[in-house]
Amino acid sequence: MRQKYLSVMVMVLIFLVFQACSWAQFSRMQFGVRGGLNLADSNTDVEAVNMEIGGTFNRKLLSRFGVGGLVEYKISDTFLLQLNILYNQKGEKFIGTIVENFVGLIDIELTNTYDYLSVPVFLKMKFFNSEAKPFLILGPEFSYLLSAHQKFDADIMVVDLDTTLIDADIKDDVQTFEWALNFGLGLEFPIGSHHGFIEGRYGLGLTPFNKEGEENYKNNVFYLNLGFIF
Protein backbone atom coordinates (compact mmCIF):
# COMPACT_ATOMS: atom_id res chain seq x y z
CA MET A 1 0.00 0.00 0.00
CA ARG A 2 2.82 2.41 0.86
CA GLN A 3 4.50 1.70 -2.49
CA LYS A 4 1.22 2.45 -4.26
CA TYR A 5 0.95 5.87 -2.59
CA LEU A 6 4.59 6.64 -3.38
CA SER A 7 4.06 5.62 -7.01
CA VAL A 8 1.05 7.89 -7.35
CA MET A 9 2.92 10.80 -5.73
CA VAL A 10 5.92 10.53 -8.04
CA MET A 11 3.79 10.06 -11.15
CA VAL A 12 1.81 13.18 -10.25
CA LEU A 13 5.01 15.19 -9.70
CA ILE A 14 6.50 14.03 -13.00
CA PHE A 15 3.22 14.87 -14.76
CA LEU A 16 3.26 18.34 -13.23
CA VAL A 17 6.85 18.90 -14.35
CA PHE A 18 6.06 17.98 -17.94
CA GLN A 19 2.83 19.95 -17.91
CA ALA A 20 4.66 22.96 -16.55
CA CYS A 21 7.25 22.63 -19.29
CA SER A 22 4.58 22.36 -21.98
CA TRP A 23 2.77 25.45 -20.68
CA ALA A 24 5.87 27.51 -20.02
CA GLN A 25 7.75 29.85 -22.26
CA PHE A 26 11.15 28.53 -23.25
CA SER A 27 12.84 31.06 -20.95
CA ARG A 28 11.37 29.23 -17.93
CA MET A 29 13.03 25.94 -18.87
CA GLN A 30 16.63 25.00 -18.21
CA PHE A 31 18.54 21.83 -19.03
CA GLY A 32 21.68 20.44 -17.50
CA VAL A 33 23.91 17.55 -16.58
CA ARG A 34 25.08 16.25 -13.23
CA GLY A 35 27.42 13.61 -11.89
CA GLY A 36 29.56 12.71 -8.94
CA LEU A 37 30.42 10.42 -6.08
CA ASN A 38 27.96 8.09 -4.37
CA LEU A 39 28.87 6.95 -0.85
CA ALA A 40 26.51 4.01 -0.52
CA ASP A 41 25.42 2.08 2.55
CA SER A 42 22.49 0.00 3.78
CA ASN A 43 20.82 -1.00 7.01
CA THR A 44 21.73 -4.67 6.49
CA ASP A 45 22.20 -6.44 9.82
CA VAL A 46 25.96 -6.90 10.30
CA GLU A 47 25.33 -9.67 12.84
CA ALA A 48 23.42 -11.60 10.20
CA VAL A 49 26.37 -11.24 7.81
CA ASN A 50 28.74 -12.42 10.57
CA MET A 51 26.65 -15.54 11.21
CA GLU A 52 26.14 -16.34 7.51
CA ILE A 53 29.80 -16.08 6.49
CA GLY A 54 31.33 -17.21 9.76
CA GLY A 55 33.64 -14.31 10.57
CA THR A 56 33.69 -10.87 12.16
CA PHE A 57 32.53 -8.13 9.79
CA ASN A 58 32.02 -4.37 9.85
CA ARG A 59 30.03 -2.21 7.46
CA LYS A 60 31.92 0.36 5.35
CA LEU A 61 30.82 3.04 2.90
CA LEU A 62 30.93 1.84 -0.70
CA SER A 63 32.28 4.40 -3.20
CA ARG A 64 30.38 4.37 -6.50
CA PHE A 65 29.08 7.02 -8.91
CA GLY A 66 26.03 8.49 -10.62
CA VAL A 67 25.64 10.55 -13.79
CA GLY A 68 22.80 11.89 -15.92
CA GLY A 69 20.73 14.83 -17.13
CA LEU A 70 18.17 17.20 -15.68
CA VAL A 71 15.46 19.64 -16.67
CA GLU A 72 14.29 22.52 -14.46
CA TYR A 73 11.13 24.54 -14.62
CA LYS A 74 11.23 27.96 -12.98
CA ILE A 75 8.11 28.53 -10.90
CA SER A 76 9.45 31.79 -9.45
CA ASP A 77 12.79 33.38 -8.60
CA THR A 78 12.81 31.24 -5.46
CA PHE A 79 11.18 27.92 -6.39
CA LEU A 80 11.96 25.48 -9.20
CA LEU A 81 10.89 21.95 -10.12
CA GLN A 82 13.74 19.69 -11.22
CA LEU A 83 13.43 16.31 -12.95
CA ASN A 84 16.56 14.14 -13.14
CA ILE A 85 17.26 10.96 -15.09
CA LEU A 86 20.36 9.20 -13.77
CA TYR A 87 22.49 6.10 -14.08
CA ASN A 88 22.85 5.59 -10.35
CA GLN A 89 24.96 3.09 -8.41
CA LYS A 90 24.09 2.02 -4.86
CA GLY A 91 25.11 -0.90 -2.69
CA GLU A 92 26.86 -2.07 0.46
CA LYS A 93 30.31 -3.10 1.60
CA PHE A 94 31.55 -5.29 4.46
CA ILE A 95 35.12 -5.86 5.60
CA GLY A 96 36.05 -8.61 8.02
CA THR A 97 38.26 -11.47 9.03
CA ILE A 98 37.77 -15.24 8.88
CA VAL A 99 39.88 -17.71 10.85
CA GLU A 100 40.67 -20.81 8.77
CA ASN A 101 42.42 -23.80 10.33
CA PHE A 102 44.85 -24.46 7.49
CA VAL A 103 45.87 -20.93 6.40
CA GLY A 104 45.12 -18.82 9.48
CA LEU A 105 43.57 -15.37 9.10
CA ILE A 106 41.83 -14.40 5.86
CA ASP A 107 40.86 -10.77 5.27
CA ILE A 108 37.55 -10.61 3.40
CA GLU A 109 35.88 -7.78 1.47
CA LEU A 110 32.28 -8.32 0.40
CA THR A 111 30.66 -5.78 -1.93
CA ASN A 112 27.16 -5.72 -3.40
CA THR A 113 26.69 -3.17 -6.20
CA TYR A 114 23.22 -2.28 -7.47
CA ASP A 115 22.96 -0.34 -10.75
CA TYR A 116 19.75 1.65 -11.19
CA LEU A 117 18.03 3.95 -13.63
CA SER A 118 16.86 6.58 -11.13
CA VAL A 119 14.35 9.40 -11.57
CA PRO A 120 14.58 11.89 -8.69
CA VAL A 121 12.09 14.78 -8.69
CA PHE A 122 13.12 17.77 -6.57
CA LEU A 123 11.47 20.90 -5.32
CA LYS A 124 14.40 23.34 -5.35
CA MET A 125 14.37 26.50 -3.24
CA LYS A 126 16.99 29.22 -3.78
CA PHE A 127 18.10 31.80 -1.23
CA PHE A 128 19.49 35.33 -1.46
CA ASN A 129 19.53 37.69 -4.42
CA SER A 130 23.20 37.26 -5.32
CA GLU A 131 25.28 35.76 -8.12
CA ALA A 132 26.09 32.67 -6.06
CA LYS A 133 22.84 31.27 -4.66
CA PRO A 134 22.60 28.55 -2.01
CA PHE A 135 19.63 26.21 -2.40
CA LEU A 136 17.74 23.40 -0.70
CA ILE A 137 16.26 20.36 -2.47
CA LEU A 138 13.63 17.87 -1.38
CA GLY A 139 11.77 15.19 -3.26
CA PRO A 140 11.07 11.52 -4.02
CA GLU A 141 13.11 9.19 -6.20
CA PHE A 142 11.98 6.20 -8.25
CA SER A 143 14.63 3.64 -9.30
CA TYR A 144 14.54 0.69 -11.69
CA LEU A 145 17.16 -2.02 -11.19
CA LEU A 146 19.43 -2.56 -14.21
CA SER A 147 21.90 -5.02 -12.68
CA ALA A 148 23.17 -6.34 -9.35
CA HIS A 149 26.59 -7.78 -8.69
CA GLN A 150 28.31 -9.39 -5.73
CA LYS A 151 32.08 -9.63 -5.30
CA PHE A 152 33.83 -11.52 -2.53
CA ASP A 153 37.57 -10.85 -2.31
CA ALA A 154 40.01 -12.63 0.00
CA ASP A 155 43.53 -11.76 1.15
CA ILE A 156 45.20 -14.90 2.52
CA MET A 157 48.04 -13.56 4.63
CA VAL A 158 50.03 -16.77 5.19
CA VAL A 159 50.65 -17.32 1.48
CA ASP A 160 50.37 -13.63 0.53
CA LEU A 161 47.59 -14.31 -1.96
CA ASP A 162 44.84 -11.95 -3.16
CA THR A 163 42.00 -13.73 -4.88
CA THR A 164 38.32 -13.37 -5.78
CA LEU A 165 36.23 -16.12 -4.23
CA ILE A 166 32.88 -14.99 -5.63
CA ASP A 167 32.04 -12.81 -8.63
CA ALA A 168 28.33 -13.29 -9.24
CA ASP A 169 25.19 -11.81 -10.74
CA ILE A 170 22.61 -11.42 -7.95
CA LYS A 171 19.92 -9.50 -9.83
CA ASP A 172 17.34 -12.23 -9.11
CA ASP A 173 17.82 -11.62 -5.38
CA VAL A 174 17.16 -7.85 -5.54
CA GLN A 175 13.86 -6.01 -5.91
CA THR A 176 13.29 -4.51 -9.37
CA PHE A 177 11.81 -1.22 -8.11
CA GLU A 178 12.91 1.06 -5.31
CA TRP A 179 11.64 4.29 -3.77
CA ALA A 180 13.67 6.82 -1.83
CA LEU A 181 13.44 10.33 -0.40
CA ASN A 182 16.20 12.83 -1.21
CA PHE A 183 17.03 15.99 0.71
CA GLY A 184 20.10 18.20 0.63
CA LEU A 185 21.65 21.55 -0.09
CA GLY A 186 23.95 23.12 -2.66
CA LEU A 187 25.39 26.24 -4.18
CA GLU A 188 24.66 27.52 -7.70
CA PHE A 189 27.14 29.93 -9.28
CA PRO A 190 27.56 31.65 -12.67
CA ILE A 191 29.87 30.25 -15.36
CA GLY A 192 29.76 32.78 -18.20
CA SER A 193 26.14 33.01 -19.32
CA HIS A 194 25.30 29.65 -17.74
CA HIS A 195 25.42 28.18 -14.22
CA GLY A 196 27.32 25.49 -12.40
CA PHE A 197 26.45 23.94 -9.07
CA ILE A 198 27.87 21.83 -6.29
CA GLU A 199 25.43 19.76 -4.27
CA GLY A 200 25.33 17.36 -1.34
CA ARG A 201 22.27 15.31 -0.59
CA TYR A 202 21.15 12.20 1.25
CA GLY A 203 19.00 9.50 -0.31
CA LEU A 204 16.95 7.63 2.30
CA GLY A 205 15.63 4.29 1.08
CA LEU A 206 11.90 3.85 1.70
CA THR A 207 11.40 0.36 0.27
CA PRO A 208 13.52 -2.79 0.79
CA PHE A 209 15.91 -4.04 -1.87
CA ASN A 210 16.03 -7.66 -0.63
CA LYS A 211 13.46 -10.17 -1.87
CA GLU A 212 13.95 -12.79 0.84
CA GLY A 213 14.27 -12.73 4.61
CA GLU A 214 12.20 -11.35 7.45
CA GLU A 215 14.15 -8.08 7.67
CA ASN A 216 13.69 -5.17 5.25
CA TYR A 217 17.09 -3.93 4.05
CA LYS A 218 17.19 -0.50 2.42
CA ASN A 219 19.71 1.57 0.47
CA ASN A 220 21.02 4.81 1.96
CA VAL A 221 23.33 7.02 -0.10
CA PHE A 222 25.31 10.24 0.39
CA TYR A 223 25.59 12.06 -2.97
CA LEU A 224 28.31 14.61 -3.76
CA ASN A 225 27.53 16.11 -7.18
CA LEU A 226 28.82 18.69 -9.59
CA GLY A 227 26.61 19.96 -12.38
CA PHE A 228 26.16 22.41 -15.22
CA ILE A 229 22.90 24.15 -16.21
CA PHE A 230 22.57 25.54 -19.74
- pLDDT digit string (tens) for 15-30? 655 555 555 456 788 9
Mean predicted confidence (pLDDT) in 95-109: 77
Query: What is the DSSP track for 9-32?
Result: HHHHHHHHHHHHHHHS-GGGEEEE
Class for domain 2-229, per CATH? mainly beta
Provide the residue type at 78 as one letter: T
Helix extents (H) in the chain: 2-23, 46-53
* Beta-ladder partners of 137: 124, 184
Mean predicted confidence (pLDDT) in 38-61: 88
The answer for residues whose C-beta is within 8 angstroms of residue 52's C-beta and 6 or more apart is none
Res 28: pLDDT: 81
Res 19: pLDDT: 59
pLDDT(159) > 80: no
Mean predicted confidence (pLDDT) in 131-137: 96
Res 22: pLDDT: 55
The domain limits of the chain are 2-229
Mean predicted confidence (pLDDT) in 181-203: 96
Instruction: Record the pTM.
Output: 0.86
3-class SS of residue 159: coil
